Amino acid sequence: MALVTWDTSYSVSVKSCDAEHQKLFDLINQLHEAMQLGQGSTIVVPVVHELEKYTQTHFRAEEALLQQACYPKLAEHRQQHQKFVAQVKQFKDDLQAGSLGNSISVLKFLKDWLADHIKQTDKMYSEHLNSRGIK
Ligand code: FEO
């Protein structure tokens, strides 16, 4: 069963961001499935690496849109992104080092963080971006 399922309650009313959030959820679900099946680090580590890379790709794209729209809360938003990138990197490093006791609970923590970030922080930019023609 998927750990997290995208539905319209996660929509930020900007198509590219919604698509990127869906891909992030897909990667989290892939990782969750691999861990649940007890797949080894040769399978799990490349997926977490992909999650790390794609998280940064999405954050850069989203920040570029916010900058383009002169979004007043960009600095705080960027700080949250940087914090999450550091957490995902730590997760990857711990997995690679084989030093993570309960990796599924860490993955759930990352999933909750991302879901809350989309619903609380990302959604705050919808109106601002939409009013500047970014949809
Ligand atoms: Fe969609 Fe602010 O991350």
Is 120 exposed, middle or buried, given 0-12, 13-18 or 19+ CB atoms closer than 10 A?
A: exposed
Query: What's the CA gap between 17 and 122, in Å, rounded?
Result: 9
Protein residues whose CB sits closer than 6 Å to any atom of ligand 1: 17, 21, 58-59, 62, 77, 81, 117-118, 121-122
* DSSP states of 23-54: HHHHHHHHHHHHHHTT--HHHHHHHHHHHHHH
| 59 C-alpha to ligand 1 centroid (Å) | 6
pLDDT, tens digit, 9 for 90 and up, residues 5-32:
999 999 999 999 999 999 999 999 999 9
Residues found in the chain: 135
Structure tokens at 45: 């580590």
**114 CA closest ligand 1 atom index:** 3
pTM: 0.95
pLDDT, tens digit, 9 for 90 and up, residues 22-75:
999 999 999 999 888 888 778 888 999 999 999 999 999 999 999 999 999 999
**121 CA closest ligand 1 atom index:** 2
